[in-house]
Structure 1
Amino acid sequence: MGSNGSPSQIAEGTEQVEDRQKTVNKPPQLQDVLRHACPSSSKARLLSTFKNILERENCDFMWVTKEWRPQPVTQHSRTRSTAQIRQDVFASPKMQHTVEELSQQNGVPKEALWQELNEILVEMGHTQTMPVVRWFGYVLSKIMRKIYNGVYVNEESITRLRARVGNNPVIFMPSHRSYADFLLMSYVCFNYNIMLPVIAAGMDFVAMWGVGRLLRDSGAFFIRRSFGNDKLYWAAFSEYVQTLITAGENPIEFFVEGTRSRTAKSLCPKLGLLSVALEPYFTGQVSDILVVPINISYDRTLEETLYSYELLGVPKPKESTSGLFKALNVLDEQYGRIHIDFTEPISANNFFGDLRSPKLLRPLHLPHQITAGESSRIIWLANHVVRQQQKHAVISLFSLAAVVITHHSLTKPRNQLLKVQELTKEVALLKSTVESLGGLLDCRENLDVSLREALQIHKSLVHLSEDGVVRLKNVATQAAVAVDPTKLKGHNLQDKTLQVGVPMVMLQHYINQTLHLFICPAMICVAVEHSIKQGSGLKDDIFAKYQFLRKLLSHEFILHSAWEEMDFEESVFQLKALQVLDESLREPQKLCLGQNTKLFQIISHLLLPFLSGYSNTCKVLLETPAGKRVNLNDTLKLAQERIEKLLLNSHLNHHYSLSLDLLTAAVSSLSAMGSLSKHKENGKVSYSVNESRLIQVSQVLEDFFQMVAHSVRNPQEEMARQLVTREKARL
Structure 2
Amino acid sequence: MADNRPPAPDSAPDLRILGDEITLQPSGFMEPPREGKEEALMKNMARFRSEPLQFLREVSLYVSGTGWRAYDDVIGQPIFYSGFSEHIKTQVMSAPLLQTKISELAEMRVRVEEKEGLLNKDDKDFQMKRAQRRANLVQSLQDVAEDLTDNMICKFENKTFIRGAYYVVTQLLLRAYHQGIHVSSEEVLRLRAVAEEAARKKQSIIFLPCHRSHVDYVSLQLLTYRLGLALPVVVAGDNLNFPLVGSFLQHAGAMYIRRSFGDDQLYTTLVQAYIDALLQGGYNLECFIEGGRSRTGKLLPPKFGILSFVLDSLLSGRVEDAIICPVSTQYDKVVETEGYVTELLGVPKKKENLADFLSGGSSVLSLRLGRVDVRFHEPWSLRGFIDQQISRLSKVPSAINIDWRDTRNTMVRQKLLRTLGYKVLADINDVSVVMPTALIGTVLLTLRGRGVGRTELVRRVEWLTARVRAKGGRVAHFGNAPLSDVIERGLDVLGKDLVGVVNGLAEPTYYAVDRFQLSFYRNMTIHLFISEALVAAALYTHVKRGGGPSIQDIPYRDLHDQVLFLSSLFRGEFIYSGEGLAVNLERTLAGLEADNIIHVEKDEEGNITKVGLSDAERSAGRENYDFYCFLIWPFIESSWLAAVSLMGLVPPLGQRDDIWLQVSKTQESAQLLGKTLYHQGDLSYFEAVNKETLKNSYQRFEEEGIIQVVKSKDTKIPPRLRVAPEWQPRRDETTGQLIASGRLWDFTEKIASSRREGKNRRDGATVSTRVVKLTDELGQKLFEEAVRGEKERSKKGGKSAPATLSSEDARSLSRSEKEKKRRRTLEGRAHL
TM above 0.5: yes
Cα 1:346/1:693, change in 2 over 3 Å: farther
Q: Partners of 1:698 and 1:673 in 2: how far apart?
A: 16
State the match for 2:643 in structure 1.
618
Report the Cα offset of residue 130 of structure 1: 2.0
Report the Cα offset of residue 93 of structure 1: 1.2
Aligned residue for 1:153, secondary structure, equals strand
Cα 1:658/1:529, change in 2 over 3 Å: closer
Determine whether 1:190 maps to 2:225: yes
Which digits, 9 at most, give the CA deviation of each residue in 1:202-224, with x for residues without a partner?
Answer: 101212x2111111111111111
State the match for 2:612 in structure 1.
592
Determine whether 1:661 maps to 2:663: no
Report the Cα offset of residue 551 of structure 1: 1.5
Determine whether 1:709 maps to 2:712: no
State the match for 1:463 in structure 2.
500
Determine whether 1:256 maps to 2:289: yes
Superposition pairs of residues 680-695 of structure 1, within 5 angstroms? 680-683=711-714, 684-690=718-724, 693=727, 695=742
Q: After the TM superposition, which of the residue ranges 296-305 and 534-543 deviates more from structure 2?
A: 534-543
Superposition pairs of residues 481-496 of structure 1, within 5 angstroms? none
CA RMSD of aligned residues (A): 2.8
Aligned residue for 2:236, secondary structure, equals strand
State the match for 1:353 in structure 2.
387
State the match for 1:405 in structure 2.
444
State the match for 1:482 in structure 2.
none
Determine whether 1:394 maps to 2:433: yes
Cα 1:350/1:567, change in 2 over 3 Å: farther
Q: Which of 160, 165, 184 lines up with 1:154 in the alignment? A: 184
Q: Partners of 2:452 and 2:680 in 1: how far apart?
A: 24
Q: Which of 486, 509, 516 lines up with 1:450 in the alignment? A: 486
Q: Are the aligned partners of 2:62 and 2:70 in contact in 1 as well (CA < 8 Å)?
A: no
Superposition pairs of residues 241-390 of structure 1, within 5 angstroms? 241-248=275-282, 250-327=283-360, 328-353=362-387, 369=408, 371-390=410-429
Report the Cα offset of residue 170 of structure 1: 1.4
Superposition pairs of residues 386-535 of structure 1, within 5 angstroms? 386-408=425-447, 411-412=448-449, 416-444=450-478, 445-459=481-495, 460-467=497-504, 468-473=508-513, 503-530=514-541
Q: Are the aligned partners of 2:498 and 2:515 in contact in 1 as well (CA < 8 Å)?
A: no
Q: How many residues of Structure 1 are paired with residues of Structure 2 in the alignment? A: 626
Cα 1:698/1:193, change in 2 over 3 Å: farther
Superposition pairs of residues 215-254 of structure 1, within 5 angstroms? 215-248=249-282, 250-254=283-287
* Identity within the alignment, %: 23
Report the Cα offset of residue 279 of structure 1: 2.6
Q: Which of 568, 579, 584 lines up with 1:551 in the alignment? A: 568
State the match for 1:91 in structure 2.
94
Q: Are the aligned partners of 1:520 and 1:571 in contact in 2 as well (CA < 8 Å)?
A: yes
Cα 1:71/1:286, change in 2 over 3 Å: farther
Report the Cα offset of residue 308 of structure 1: 0.7
Report the Cα offset of residue 458 of structure 1: 0.9
Cα 1:398/1:188, change in 2 over 3 Å: same
Q: Which amino acid aligns with 1:449?
A: D
Cα 1:261/1:160, change in 2 over 3 Å: same
Cα 1:663/1:558, change in 2 over 3 Å: same
Aligned residue for 2:181, secondary structure, equals strand
State the match for 1:638 in structure 2.
669
Q: Are the aligned partners of 2:13 and 2:185 in contact in 1 as well (CA < 8 Å)?
A: no
Q: Partners of 1:279 and 1:404 in 2: how far apart?
A: 45
Aligned residue for 1:229, secondary structure, equals coil
State the match for 1:674 in structure 2.
705
Which digits, 9 at most, give the CA deviation of each residue in 1:13-60, with x for residues without a partner?
Answer: xxxxxxxxxxxxxxxxxxxxxxxxxxxxxx964263343354341454
Structure 2: any 5+ residue segments left out of the alignment? 1-7, 23-41, 46-57, 111-133, 392-406, 546-550, 652-656, 729-741, 762-832
Determine whether 1:138 maps to 2:167: yes
Q: Which amino acid aligns with 1:316?
A: K
Aligned residue for 2:70, secondary structure, equals coil
Q: Which amino acid aligns with 1:86?
A: K
Which digits, 9 at most, give the CA deviation of each residue in 1:103-151, with x for residues without a partner?
Answer: 1112371111111101100110211232221111111221233222121
Aligned residue for 2:235, secondary structure, equals strand
Q: Partners of 1:80 and 1:380 in 2: how far apart?
A: 39
Query: Whose RCO is larger (CA < 8 A, sep 6+)?
Result: 1
Which digits, 9 at most, give the CA deviation of each residue in 1:640-661, with x for residues without a partner?
Answer: 2222122222332311011110
Q: Are the aligned partners of 2:503 and 2:509 in contact in 1 as well (CA < 8 Å)?
A: yes
Which digits, 9 at most, give the CA deviation of each residue in 1:168-194, with x for residues without a partner?
Answer: 221111111101111111100111101
Q: Which amino acid aligns with 1:347?
A: S
Determine whether 1:172 maps to 2:207: yes
State the match for 1:48 in structure 2.
13
Q: Are the aligned partners of 2:434 and 2:525 in contact in 1 as well (CA < 8 Å)?
A: yes
Report the Cα offset of residue 531 of structure 1: 6.2
Q: Which amino acid aligns with 1:265?
A: K
Which digits, 9 at most, give the CA deviation of each residue in 1:666-690, with x for residues without a partner?
Answer: 1111122222122233443222213
Determine whether 1:579 maps to 2:596: yes
Which digits, 9 at most, give the CA deviation of each residue in 1:501-550, with x for residues without a partner?
Answer: xx222111111111111222111111234367798744444232212111
Which stretches of structure 1, 4 residues or more, deviate above 6 A after TM superposition? 74-80, 531-536, 711-714
Q: Partners of 2:329 and 2:296 in 1: how far apart?
A: 15
Cα 1:136/1:419, change in 2 over 3 Å: same
Report the Cα offset of residue 665 of structure 1: 0.9
Q: Which amino acid aligns with 1:469?
A: T
Report the Cα offset of residue 78 of structure 1: 11
Which digits, 9 at most, give the CA deviation of each residue in 1:707-727, with x for residues without a partner?
Answer: 44227889xxxxxxxxxxxxx
State the match for 2:149 in structure 1.
121
Q: Which of 212, 231, 254 lines up with 2:246 in the alignment? A: 212
Return the TM-score normalized by structure 1.
Answer: 0.80
Q: After the TM superposition, which of the residue ranges 555-564 and 108-117 deviates more from structure 2?
A: 555-564
Q: Which amino acid aligns with 1:221?
A: M
Q: Are the aligned partners of 1:393 and 1:440 in contact in 2 as well (CA < 8 Å)?
A: yes
Aligned residue for 2:352, secondary structure, equals coil
Q: Partners of 2:542 and 2:503 in 1: how far apart?
A: 46
Q: Which amino acid aligns with 2:384?
A: N
Q: Are the aligned partners of 1:178 and 1:303 in contact in 2 as well (CA < 8 Å)?
A: yes
Return the TM-score normalized by structure 2.
Answer: 0.71
Cα 1:704/1:232, change in 2 over 3 Å: closer
State the match for 2:812 in structure 1.
none
Structure 1: any 5+ residue segments left out of the alignment? 1-42, 358-367, 474-502, 715-731
Q: After the TM superposition, which of the residue ranges 536-545 and 602-611 deviates more from structure 2?
A: 536-545
Report the Cα offset of residue 565 of structure 1: 4.2
Q: Partners of 2:285 and 2:436 in 1: how far apart?
A: 33
Aligned residue for 2:429, secondary structure, equals helix
Q: Are the aligned partners of 1:551 and 1:669 in contact in 2 as well (CA < 8 Å)?
A: no
Which digits, 9 at most, give the CA deviation of each residue in 1:265-286, with x for residues without a partner?
Answer: 1111111211211333223344
State the match for 1:602 in structure 2.
627
Which digits, 9 at most, give the CA deviation of each residue in 1:247-278, with x for residues without a partner?
Answer: 11x21111111111111111111112112113
State the match for 1:723 in structure 2.
none
Q: Are the aligned partners of 2:637 and 2:755 in contact in 1 as well (CA < 8 Å)?
A: no
Q: Partners of 1:574 and 1:350 in 2: how far apart?
A: 34
Q: Which of 193, 202, 220 lines up with 1:163 in the alignment? A: 193
State the match for 2:830 in structure 1.
none
Aligned residue for 2:661, secondary structure, equals coil
Q: Which amino acid aligns with 2:170?
A: S
Q: Are the aligned partners of 1:73 and 1:170 in contact in 2 as well (CA < 8 Å)?
A: no
Aligned residue for 1:513, secondary structure, equals coil
Q: Are the aligned partners of 2:707 and 2:722 in contact in 1 as well (CA < 8 Å)?
A: yes
Q: Partners of 2:79 and 2:167 in 1: how far apart?
A: 31
Q: Which amino acid aligns with 1:382?
A: G
Report the Cα offset of residue 68 of structure 1: 2.0
Report the Cα offset of residue 567 of structure 1: 3.6
Cα 1:702/1:429, change in 2 over 3 Å: farther
Q: Which amino acid aligns with 1:519?
A: I
Q: After the TM superposition, which of the residue ranges 117-126 and 55-64 deviates more from structure 2?
A: 55-64
